[in-house]
């Protein structure tokens, strides 16, 4: 357990991480925050002198892909630092303690670091039936979440489950899975969506809070601007093929071999806000589009309900599969066109009949006057 | 050919006696002022351009080969779409301005007398004319009640919807610090996933396609079958009545 005066640097050094790696971490984090090299020493100083911020990592209704990504994909220099920063206090996936012993840690941190710790939430609380569809430690997750959030400094909604609801909140959302910011309303909630999200965002946010003693600037949906203010499409290395009009039409065509734009086969890059195309994954090796598969838009709200993944146009609910805007609009336009043709034909007949009637009436009138 | 008898009202150079006897007295009212007519045709052109390019943005043309640097197919299509969008939006602003300074007919597009019973009676009457229950339609200087209904619900509200969602989508490329995002970013409070905005904007295009089909059909049909001029009114501004009957 930590004491109040311990710094991140102390912890990192105790874990056997060299000062060189530590400084590399500071430099990389400054860059990923868009701060420029001058801020690396400032970050280093903050991490050396200020008491570290404890991070509690709670798991609700989720698949643990966030944690899985987290413990693997960070830059090798960063990885150890990340684990030192995050896993120390409480994370039921990777901590050593278990059972009552582990649960006690939660209460202890809540008291000793009241108003100071950061609550990272992976997954979301299902609210239906009093929250019984998610019972870690034998209690509804929603209760524990509210309790831990009430004494935290800020909440990080980690991943699409916590930020938007993700697959368990996809229609029809049987357990009423609810995003964290709809449940925790008295603390700032920083959303870091993605399925899973990028690990560097977590360390960057914690480092930012430590260094500048304020929360990073958030966009209108509560996402840190430095990672979520541009779409995958805006910085995609295949963008020139999009502008040129060079697309993969089929998965095994020449365009796919040449690395053309995946727009026509359903890439959601143009509607997805994330840093994948710049930060990338697995030690910066690649990201979905670079591997030849379109973005599925996993960091966007309700991306499960905006499919299919392999078509540009989304299915419009509640219409059946393949009921996209063109299918629906085209059908309505065809019906309107057909109705117009039928109405025009009927109008011609009616017009002719009216003319004939009027002629007859005039004739009858004339006969009457003459006769 | 005998010329018209002396004292006839027909003064055309080639008029005959037959023409003079066939002529009827007609009234004509100036309805659409110049800016409204110019706006109408500019908007018609812009909407056509937007629908075609918009469709091609959602379903692009077949891929081109060679180097990416040799081509800008998608780039030009999107550029035309955005330019036409600006023309449409600026035209709409001018049109709104004209509703304040123009004649009272220029305001009809923006008014919808929902609470007036005689308006709804007019809608029903006009619908019955379209269902062939009437031999003659009524005469109107401006839009008939049914036309006003479609104009307001589909066209006017549709214009606002398409311009707002269009600029919101444009703001995504322009950036979070752009004026487009400052003015139209709130759209993403309603639809947080911009894919839904794309879908709705696309459905809006189809609504306009249906509107265009009905609009052109109704204009041609009314020009032939109604008791007043239609198409030429949007060219000359003059509403001509074919008879002077009372009803």
Are B193 and A336 an interchain contact pair (Cβ–Cβ within 8 Å)? no
DSSP bridge pairs for A119? A56, A155
Same fold, A8-228 and A232-306: no
Predicted pLDDT at A169: 95
Between B6 and A367, the higher pLDDT residue = A367
Overall average pLDDT of the B221-246 stretch: 91
- Specify the CATH architecture of the domain A232-306: Irregular (4.10)
pLDDT of A1 > 50? The answer is no
Residues of A in contact with B217 (CB under 8 A): 340, 343-344
Please state the ipTM of this predicted complex: 0.90
User: Is domain B36-61+72-238 given the CATH code 1.10.8.420 in the classification?
Assistant: no
d(CA B187, CA B162): 12
> What is the dihedral angle through the alpha carbons of A83, A86, A91, A97, rounded to the nearest 10 degrees?
70
Per-residue pLDDT tens digits for A265-289? 999 999 999 999 888 887 778 899 9
Name the phi and psi angles at A130, rounded to 5.
70, 20
Q: Which residues contact A13 (CB under 8 A, 6 or more apart)?
A: A19, A22
pTM to 2 decimals? 0.91
pLDDT of A81 > 80? The answer is no
At residue B144, the 3 state secondary structure works out as coil
| Residue B173 contacts A where some CB pair is shorter than 8 Å | yes
What residue has token string 């690649």? A286
| Residue B69 contacts A where some CB pair is shorter than 8 Å | yes
> What is the dihedral angle through the alpha carbons of A297, A301, A306, A308, rounded to the nearest 10 degrees?
30
Are A340 and B217 an interchain contact pair (Cβ–Cβ within 8 Å)? yes
What does CATH list as the number for A8-228? Answer: 3.40.50.700
Predicted pLDDT at A146: 95
d(CA A180, CA A187): 11
Among candidate residues B201, B176, B174, the one with its CA nearest the CA of residue B186: B176
Name the phi and psi angles at A286, rounded to 5.
-165, 180
| Residue B68 contacts A where some CB pair is shorter than 8 Å | yes
d(CA A366, CA A361): 8
A95-99, A227-231, A307-311, B81-85: which is most confident: B81-85
Q: Predicted confidence band at A2 (pLDDT cuts at 50, 70, 90)?
A: very low
Domain boundaries along the sequence of chain A:
8-228, 232-306
Predicted pLDDT at A11: 83
Q: What do you get for the CA distance between the two ends of chain B, in Å?
A: 37
At residue A157, the 3 state secondary structure works out as strand
d(CA A361, CA A186): 81
Note the maximum CA span of chain B: 79
Handedness of CA B78, B80, B82, B88 (dihedral sign): negative
Per-residue pLDDT tens digits for B202-224? 999 999 999 999 999 999 999 99
> What is the dihedral angle through the alpha carbons of A224, A227, A230, A231, rounded to the nearest 10 degrees?
-110
d(CA B237, CA A135): 73
Q: Taking a C-beta distance cutoff of 8 angstroms, is the pair A75, A28 a contact? A: yes
Supply A53's token pair. 């911020």
d(CA B55, CA B65): 22
Per-residue pLDDT tens digits for B16-50? 888 877 777 788 999 999 999 999 999 999 999 99
Are A332 and B70 an interchain contact pair (Cβ–Cβ within 8 Å)? no
Are B203 and A245 an interchain contact pair (Cβ–Cβ within 8 Å)? no
Q: Which residues contact B213 (CB under 8 A, 6 or more apart)?
A: A333, A336, A337, A340
Residues of A in contact with B195 (CB under 8 A): 268, 271, 297, 300, 303, 306, 314
């Amino acid at each position: 357990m930590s004491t109040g005066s311990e710094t991140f640097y102390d912890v990192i050094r105790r874990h056997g991480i060299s000062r060189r790696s530590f400084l590399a971490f500071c430099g990389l984090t400054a860059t990923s925050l868009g701060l420029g090299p001058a801020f690396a020493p400032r970050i280093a100083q903050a991490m050396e002198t200020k008491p570290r911020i404890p991070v509690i990592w709670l798991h609700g209704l989720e698949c643990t892909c966030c944690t899985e990504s987290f413990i693997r994909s960070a830059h090798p220099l960063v990885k150890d630092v990340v684990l030192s920063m995050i896993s120390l206090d409480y994370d039921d996936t990777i901590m050593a303690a278990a059972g009552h012993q582990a649960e006690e840690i939660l209460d202890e941190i809540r008291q000793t670091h009241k108003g100071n710790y950061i609550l990272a939430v992976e997954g979301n609380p299902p609210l239906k039936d009093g929250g019984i569809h998610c019972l870690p430690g034998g209690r509804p997750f929603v209760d524990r979440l509210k309790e831990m959030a009430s004494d935290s400094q800020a909440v990080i909604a980690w991943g699409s489950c916590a930020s938007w609801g993700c697959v368990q909140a996809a229609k029809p959302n049987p357990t009423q899975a609810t995003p964290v910011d709809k449940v925790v309303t008295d603390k700032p909630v920083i959303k870091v969506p993605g399925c899973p999200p990028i690990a560097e965002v977590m360390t960057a946010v914690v480092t930012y809070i430590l260094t500048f003693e304020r929360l990073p600037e958030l966009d209108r949906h509560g996402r840190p601007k430095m990672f979520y203010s541009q779409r995958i499409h805006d910085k995609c290395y295949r963008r020139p093929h999009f502008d040129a009009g060079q697309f993969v039409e089929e998965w095994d065509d020449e365009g796919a071999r040449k690395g053309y734009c995946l727009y026509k086969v359903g890439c959601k890059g143009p509607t997805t806000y994330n840093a994948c195309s710049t930060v990338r994954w697995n030690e910066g090796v690649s990201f979905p589009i670079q591997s030849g598969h379109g973005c599925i838009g996993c960091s966007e709200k309700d991306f499960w309900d905006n499919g299919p993944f392999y078509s540009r146009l989304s299915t419009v609910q509640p219409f059946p599969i393949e009921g996209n805007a063109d299918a629906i609009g085209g059908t309505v336009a065809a019906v309107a066109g057909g109705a117009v043709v039928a109405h025009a034909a009927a109008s011609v007949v009616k017009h002719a009949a009216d003319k004939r009637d009027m002629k007859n009436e005039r004739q009858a009138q004339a006969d009457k006057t003459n006769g | 050919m005998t010329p018209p008898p002396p004292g006839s009202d027909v003064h055309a150079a080639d008029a005959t006696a037959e023409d003079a006897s066939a002529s009827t007295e007609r009234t004509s009212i100036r309805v659409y002022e110049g800016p409204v007519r110019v706006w109408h045709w500019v908007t018609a052109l812009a909407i056509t351009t937007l629908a075609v390019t918009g469709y091609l943005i959602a379903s692009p043309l077949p891929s081109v080969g060679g180097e990416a640097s040799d081509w800008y197919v998608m780039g030009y299509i999107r550029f035309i779409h955005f330019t036409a969008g600006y023309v449409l939006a600026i035209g709409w602003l001018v049109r709104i301005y004209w509703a304040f300074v123009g004649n009272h007919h220029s305001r009809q597009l923006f008014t919808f007398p929902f609470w007036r019973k005689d308006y709804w009676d007019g809608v029903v009457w006009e619908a019955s004319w379209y269902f062939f229950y009437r031999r003659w339609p009524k005469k109107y200087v401006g839009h008939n009640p049914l036309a006003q209904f479609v104009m307001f619900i589909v066209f006017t509200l549709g214009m606002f919807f398409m311009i707002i969602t269009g600029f919101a989508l444009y703001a995504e490329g322009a950036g979070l610090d752009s004026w487009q995002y400052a003015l139209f970013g709130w759209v993403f409070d309603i639809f947080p996933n911009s894919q839904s905005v794309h879908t709705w904007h696309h459905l809006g295009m189809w609504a306009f396609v249906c509107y265009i089909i009905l609009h052109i059909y109704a204009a041609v049909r009314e020009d032939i079958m109604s008791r007043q001029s239609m198409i030429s009114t949007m060219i000359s501004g003059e509403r001509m009545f074919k008879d002077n009957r009372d009803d």
